[in-house]
A and B are shown apart, each in its own frame.
Chain A
Amino acid sequence: MQLSGLLHGAQLLDIVEFPHAEVLGPDASEDDIRDFIARHGEVFVKPLFKGGVGKKGKAGLIGRASDLEAALAEKERLYFVEHLHGNHRAKSQGVTFEGAVPAEHEVYFAITDATEFRAPTMTLTHRGGVDIEELPKHEVVRVPFESLTGLKAFVVANALAATGAPREIVSPLVQHLPKLWELYHHYGMTTLELNPIRLRPGAQGRLIPVACDFKCGFDRDDPRWRRLGIPESVFAVDYSNFEQEINQLRTYQGQSDVYVINANGTILAPTFGGGANSLVTEVLGDDAIISSDFGGNPPYEKMRDVARICFKHWLAQSNVLFVIGGKANNTDIYTTFRGIADALREYFSEHGPTPLYVVVGRGGPNLVRGLGYFADTLDALGLPYHMFGFDSAISEVVNFTQAVDRWMKRGGRDEVARSLGIKDPQAA
C-alpha cells in the first residue's frame, strides 16, 4: 500500500502542518492552470500513478512549464503515459501541476523501520533532490531513535551537525522535521520519504522547508491509515480482482495472503505456511498461477471461502490442484482439507466437472482424517490424485507435480476429461 505524489501527500502533510508545494489535480481548468503559473512562475507537470512508482524524473516523466501552452502540452504527453519500473508497468491516470519552489538548498528526509537497528530510523542529507544511493556515505546520515519518545529536535540537530549541513538550514529543519514522526507513527506508515524538501526564504529571510514530493508506504495490517480518509481505490492498483476478493477474508485467524504469479499458469497451488510458500513458488516458477499462504490454522468457513474464490477464478484453467505445506504445527489438516474438498465439490456441482489432477503434500494434526476426507471427495468426483505425507521432501513433491502438469499438457488433460465424461475436453 504505497502512495506517491503531492496530490494526496499534501493533505497528509497539512495534518501535521508541514509546508508543501502547492498542487493542482487532474481536474484543474485552463484558467486554474494559468493562474497557478502566474503565481509560481513555473510548474512541474507530473503523471499520476496509483501506488508507489519511483524514478519518474530519470525516466523523463516530469515536465516543466512556464506558460499555459507548454503546460497543456506536457499534460497531453503525460496524462496516460506508461512507466516501466522494476518488473512492473504502471499507467498514469492524469497529471498534477505542482508549483515550483525556488531554493538554494534541497534536503532528503525519510523515516523507516530499519532492521539493522530494530528501531525507527531517520535518513537525512542536505544534498537532496537526487537518488541518495548516488551520494557519498558521509553526506548521508542514518539515525535510529526511540519509538516511545519519537523523533526529537535534538536527534535532527545532531544528525545535521554530523553531515556538516549549512547553518542556515539547521534551525528550520529542527523545527519542522519532528512533526513528520507524528504523521509516520500515528497513521500506520512503514516508510515516509520527502525528496526534495526545498528551503524557500520566508518573510524575514528565514528559510522555510517546503516538501516538493511525497512518498509513503502503509502497513496493511495497521488500520490507522483509515484515519486519513484516503479512498481505498488509491491503493487498488496493487490488487487484482481475485486478490481483492481474497483480501476481504483477511483476518488474523489464518493467513489469506495471495499474489498472482502468472494469470496463464496451470498449477493452482494453495500453500500453507510462509516457508512452504517461499519454497513451492520458487520451484514452480511460472507454472504457478498464484503464490499463497493460507496457513495459520484458518477456521473451516474461511478455508472454504478462500478455496471457493481460488476455484472460481482459476480452476477451469488449472491442470493440477496442488495442496502443499510442511508438517503443520497447529493448522488442523482435517479442518483445512475439509474446507478445500467441500469447495471443490461445490465447484463441480455448480460448474460441472473440469479435468484436474490433484497432488497433496502435507503433515500435521489430524493428517489422516484430512487426507481421508479429501480422498473420499476426490473419489466421489472421479478425480485422479497422489497424496504424500510429511516423509516425502516437499521439493520432490513439487517436482512430481510439475511432471503431472507436463503430462496434462501433452494429452493427460484430455484423458482425464474423458474419464470424467466431459464431452468436449477442449471446451472444459
Chain B
Amino acid sequence: MFKQGVGSFPYYVGIASLEQVATRQDRVCVLNILGTESRGVSPVSHAYSGGNIVFGTSPGRRGQMLKTGLGDIPVYDNVLQGLSDGHEFNVGIVYLPPAGVRDGVAELVRVNPLLNKVIILTEKVSIHDAREIRALAQANGVDVFGANCLGVADAWNHVRIGGALGGDNPEESLIKGSVALYSNSGNFTTTIANYLATAGWGTTTLISSGKDVYIHFALAEFAYALSNDRRSKAAVLYVEPGGYYERDVTFTKPVVACVVGRWKAKLTRAVGHAGAMAGSGDDAESKERWFMDRFGVDSLYSPDNRACTAKGAVVTNIAHIPQALTDVMALRRLEPDFAPTGSLDLKPWLTAHHGVKLPPELTLEPAPPPEPYARQLAAWARQVGFVAPRQNMKDTSGATRMDPTTQVTSVHGYSVLDLALEPLEANFALPLVHEIASDNDRALLDVAVAAESNLVGDPLLIAADAAREAGNAPNAVMAAAAAIVGPKRVERALKATERLIDLFAHSGLEDARDESFDLGRIDIDDDTRALFLAGEDDESVRPEAMLKALRARGGRSVFLKLLESLDGRVHRDGILAAIATTIAWGPLMRKRISRLTATKLPWYLRLYGVMIGATIPGHHHKTGSLWDIPREERFESWTMADLAFLAMTGRKPTPEQAKPLQILIGLLISNGPGAISAQGAKGAVSADGPQSPERVQINKAMVGFLTHTGYTHGGNGFEGMAFLLDQFADSGLADPTDPNHGLDLREMAMTFAKQYKRDKALAKDLGNEVQTVPGIHHPVFRDKPVNYDPRERFIAEFMERRGDHNIFHAYYREVVQALFDVGASPYVFCVNVDAVIAALLLGLLWEDYRSGKLRSKDLETAAFTVFLYGRMIGAAAEIDDHVNRGRNMDTRTPAARCRFVS
C-alpha cells in the first residue's frame, strides 16, 4: 500500500528533483529539540537556512526557547500543541532516542497532513521500527531520509535540514557548484565536499543517506532527482557494502562512485553502519562491478590508472574522487566550478619529536593550516601551561586517587608509599608542579619556606598564640595564622610571578636553571623594576639573607639572576616570585601545570612557612632566630624535615631521626578526595567560585582543610601511641631504635593478648562494646590466615633494608600473632598503617617523653601536628586541582539527595 508519487517507481517517491530536497520554503519541526545533539546543531542549521525551524518539541518543556542567531525557537510538549498555536511545517526532524523514533514519525504523520519529508538522525533504530516507518511513510506520501544519517543540505539554496552537514561552520564545506553528493557516510559527505573543493568542484545538493538496513531515500530515487536537477552536472557517490540499492540504478549524468569496504567481507557483524554487512552478492567487489559495468570501464580508477569514461569512474579511496571527477568531466569538456583551493597532500599541523631521531620519510615539518585554523593554532601556541576543562568536582579529584583494593593513595600519579621515601621538599613541591622536584628546586624551596616561618613581629603570630592559649588543637592554631595570609599579603609576590612568566614565556627559555640565558632579550620597564625592588624605607635584611642562602646552597635560577642584575635591593616578594617561577618553569613549559597554578605558587610557599611556623609557640620566634636557631643557619642548610622536627621538639634532628619523620609525613599526605580534610579544602574553593579563579582565597581553602581535621580525623594518631605508652610504661626502655633492647616482646604481647581475651569475654557477658586495639585489623585486609596491610609492609621492608629498627613496630607484629595464638582473633590480624605511624612517631619522641620534656598531652599534639604537616601537602593538591578544574559551588548536594530525620 503506497501513495502514488513522482516517476514510475513501484513505491512512493515525492521528490522529483534534487532542488526539492532542501529548499528555502521548507518549514521544519524538530522532535526532541532540546536534546544534547539537537541543542548544538539546530541553532547553526536554523541560522544557515535563514530561520526555517518553526518549533520544536520536548515533553514537559513547553514555553522554553532554543536560542539561535536568528531569534528564539519555541518549544512545545508535543507536535499538536505547536500546530494548535498556528505553526505550519512540512519537514519533521527526529532526534528522539531509538525507542521513540517510530512513534515520533507516526505522530508526525498522524497530526500533520502537510508533512512530506522526515529526516531521522537517530542511530541504532531497530530494523523492526524501520520497517514500520517505511510502511507508514509509503502509505502517507512522505519521503524519509535516514535513520542514522546527518540530514540533507543544499549549497545553492543555502539550506541544511536535520543534521550537521558542514559542521559548525557550514559555509566552509557547502560551497556552491555543479556536483550532487550522495553518501552512505555522514562524515564523508562533508569530507568529500571539502576534498572536491581542493580540485575546484562545488556542490548542489548533499544527501547523507545513512547506512542502516533500510535506506528510505535510496540511490534510485537520488538518480531520478539528479536527472531532473538543472543545476547538477555530475554526481559523486560514496557507497559501502551491503544491500542491493545500487544494483539496477541508471544515471543520465556522469558519476564518480567511491566504493569502500572490501575488507568487510571478513567481518561477521557490522561496525558503525548497521547495514554495511555484505550478504551473498552485495559485497564491495560486487558493487564495484555494478558501477564499472554501468560506466563501461574495466578497472578501478586510481592516480596510476586513470580508468574512466564520460559516464563515470569507480574509485575505492575518497582521496581519488576529485581527480577522477575532473578526468570524467574533461571527457565532456566541462571545467571545474572554481579555481582549486588547495591539495590533499600530507600537511601536518602539529608535530613533536621529543628528542626522538626520526628517519627522513617521517620528518614532515608542520605546515600552516588554512584560516581560521592557522589563527587559532597560533593562539594555542602562545598559551602557556595546561588548561583543564571545568567540570563538577564534587567527590572528584584530578590530583589524588585512592586505590580501593590496596588503600594506597597516589598524588599526581605518585603513590604515597613512594613519596614517603622522597625528601619533604619534593613532596611539598609536588602538588604544585605535579613532578618530583630537582635538587636545585628543592634547595630553593627550603630557603623560601624557611624565610616565611619566623613570624616575629607579625600579627599572625599573636593570633596563633591566642588560639593556642585558648586551648585549641594545632589545626585551629594553624588556621588562625593562615586566615591572615590573605590576598593582599601575597598580591605583590603573585604579580611578580605573573610578570616573570610574561617576560620569559616566549623567550625560548626551557630550563630555568640556565643562568647562561641571554638576559639582554628581556625588556625590563620601570614598572617591572619597581615590582621586584625594595623601596628605600624597606629595612628588612631577609632578602639579602635569602639571596646569600640561595647561592650558598648552589641554587641556580635565571630569574634570580635577572633580579640581581636590576641594580638595587631586591624585595623579598621578588625573591619568592623568582623561586616559585624557577620551580614551576619546567612543568609550566611542558604544560604539566597551568599558568594559574604557577602564578599562585608563592601563596602556597608562604602558607607552608606560616603554617609550620605557627605551630612553634610565639616566644620562640625572635629577630634573627627561631627556637634559638640563627636565621643564617636555617636559611643556608636546614631542610624541611629539620624545620618540621624543630617545630615539634625544639631541636634539629639527626639524619636517623629526620628519615622516620619524612616517612611519616609522606604517608599522611592524602587519602583521596573523599577524606574529610580534602572535602573541607574542596568545599572552601567551591564556595569562592573557581570559575573566577582570581577570587579564590588559597589561605581560606587551607583553613577549610584545617577546620575539617580534628580529634578523630588527625588527632587519633595518638591512640596508637597511647596504647604503646601503656604497654611500655614500666619497661625501662631506653632506646626504641636499638635492636638489643633486652625486652621479651613475645612475652609482653602474650600477656597483653591473654588479658585482652579475658576483657573481651567479660565485655561480651556484660553486653558492653568490645574495645578494639588501635593500629591492628582493617576492613579491607582481612579474612586470610595471616593478613597484611601493604602500606605497613612497604615501610617495614624499607626499614629492614636500611637496617633500621623500631621496637614499637616489632611489638605490634607480636601482638597480632599473640591475639591469634590465644584465640582472641579468628586469624592473624594485620598491623595497619596507623600502627606504623604511631610506632615511628613514638620512636622519635620517646627520648623526650622519657626525660619528662614532653608530656602525654604534648605527644597528642605532636601526633596531630605531624598529620597536619602531611595533609597540608595533600590539601594543597586538592585546592590547586579544584581551582583549576572545578565549577562554582560544585560540591553542594542537591536537596533531593539530602535527608531529614526526626
Contacts and interface: CB of A to CB of B under 8 A. Distances in A.
Interface of A: 86-88, 113, 115-116, 118-120, 133, 146-148, 185, 188, 190, 219-224, 238, 250, 252-253, 255, 257-259, 272-279, 281-283, 285, 291-293, 295-297, 299, 325-332, 338, 348-349, 363-369, 371-373, 375-376, 378-380, 382-397, 400, 403-404, 407, 412, 415-416, 419
B244 A259 contact: no
B899 interface: no
Contacts of A188: 126, 128
B184 A419 contact: no
B586 to A, nearest CB: 11
A346 B410 CA distance: 12
Interface residues of B, number: 114
A407 B362 CA distance: 9
B124 A379 contact: no
A308 B41 CA distance: 28
Given A274-B184, A380-B590, 19 more contacts: A115-B215, A147-B132, A148-B135, A238-B269, A257-B270, A275-B186, A275-B240, A278-B272, A291-B267, A295-B272, A328-B167, A329-B189, A379-B590, A385-B352, A386-B348, A386-B364, A387-B350, A389-B369, A394-B319
Interface stretch (B258-266, B661-669, B867-875): B258-266
A146 B125 CA distance: 19
Nearest to B163: A329
B604 to A, nearest CB: 21
B352 A391 contact: no
A325 B167 CA distance: 14
A148 B136 contact: yes
A275 to B, nearest CB: 3
Given A330-B164, A385-B350, A387-B351, A255 B123 contact: yes
Contacts of B178: none
A222 B346 CA distance: 42
A116 B194 contact: no
Contacts of B188: 273, 275-276, 326
A219 B213 CA distance: 11
B383 interface: yes
A118 B11 contact: yes
A380 B591 contact: yes
Nearest to A271: B272
Interface residues of A, dominant DSSP: mixed
Interface stretch (B370-378, B680-688, B802-810, B817-825): B370-378
B184 A275 contact: yes
A378 B377 CA distance: 16
B238 interface: yes
A192 to B, nearest CB: 12
A394 B348 CA distance: 12
B164 A385 contact: no
Contact of A328 (B132, B184, B187, B316): B187
B357 interface: yes
B276 A375 contact: no
B128 A403 contact: no
A407 B268 CA distance: 32
A393 B319 contact: yes
B272 A255 contact: yes
B195 interface: yes
A138 to B, nearest CB: 19
A338 B264 CA distance: 30
Nearest to A254: B123
B90 interface: no
A184 B276 CA distance: 22
A352 to B, nearest CB: 9
A274 B272 contact: yes
B513 interface: no
B356 interface: yes
A277 B590 CA distance: 33
Interface string B366-388: 00011001001100100100110
Contact of A185 (B11, B128, B218, B264): B128
Nearest to B322: A393
Given A115-B245, A390-B191, A403-B361, A329 B166 contact: yes
Contact of B187 (A219, A325, A395, A403): A325
B46 interface: no
Nearest to A418: B356
B346 A396 contact: yes
Contacts of A291: 267, 271
A299 B36 contact: yes
Interface string B115-134: 00000001111111111101
A221 B274 contact: yes
Contacts of B125: 221
A384 B354 contact: yes
A396 B131 contact: no
Contacts of B245: 115
Contacts of B189: 329
Contacts of B173: 327
Contact of A118 (B134, B194, B238, B240): B134
Given A328-B167, A372-B380, A396 B345 contact: yes
Contact of A275 (B41, B166, B260, B413): B260
Given A330-B150, A378-B352, A393-B195, A278 B276 contact: yes
Given A295-B187, A327-B173, A396-B344, A279 B260 contact: yes
A282 B284 CA distance: 11
B349 A118 contact: no
Contacts of A391: 194, 198, 342, 344, 347, 369-370
B350 to A, nearest CB: 4
Nearest to B40: A330
Among the interface residues A221, A224, A257, A379, which one has the most CB atoms of the partner chain B within 10 A?
A: A221
Contacts of B358: 384, 407, 412
A404 B190 contact: no
Nearest to A376: B591
Interface in B457-509: none
Contacts of B891: none
Given A275-B238, A387-B348, A389-B349, A252 B590 contact: no
B591 A379 contact: yes
Contacts of B677: none
A117 to B, nearest CB: 9
A279 B316 CA distance: 8
Nearest to B214: A118
B424 to A, nearest CB: 23
A328 B128 CA distance: 29
B572 interface: no
Given A224-B128, A329-B150, A396-B344, A115 B244 contact: yes
A213 B831 CA distance: 64
A221 B387 CA distance: 39
A415 B357 contact: yes
A247 B807 CA distance: 54
Contacts of B135: 119, 146-148
Contact of B127 (A219, A328, A365, A366): A219
Given A115-B245, A281-B263, A376 B362 contact: no
A274 B387 CA distance: 32
A190 B377 contact: no
Contacts of B41: 330
Contacts of B697: none
A372 B262 CA distance: 35
A388 B272 contact: no
A259 B389 contact: no
Contacts of A415: 356-357
Contacts of A407: 358-359, 361-362
A397 B346 contact: yes
Nearest to B343: A391
Contact of B123 (A185, A296, A383): A296
B267 A259 contact: yes
B271 A292 contact: yes
Contacts of B276: 274, 278
A253 B348 CA distance: 31
B612 to A, nearest CB: 30
Interface in B203-245: 211, 213-216, 218, 238, 240, 242-245
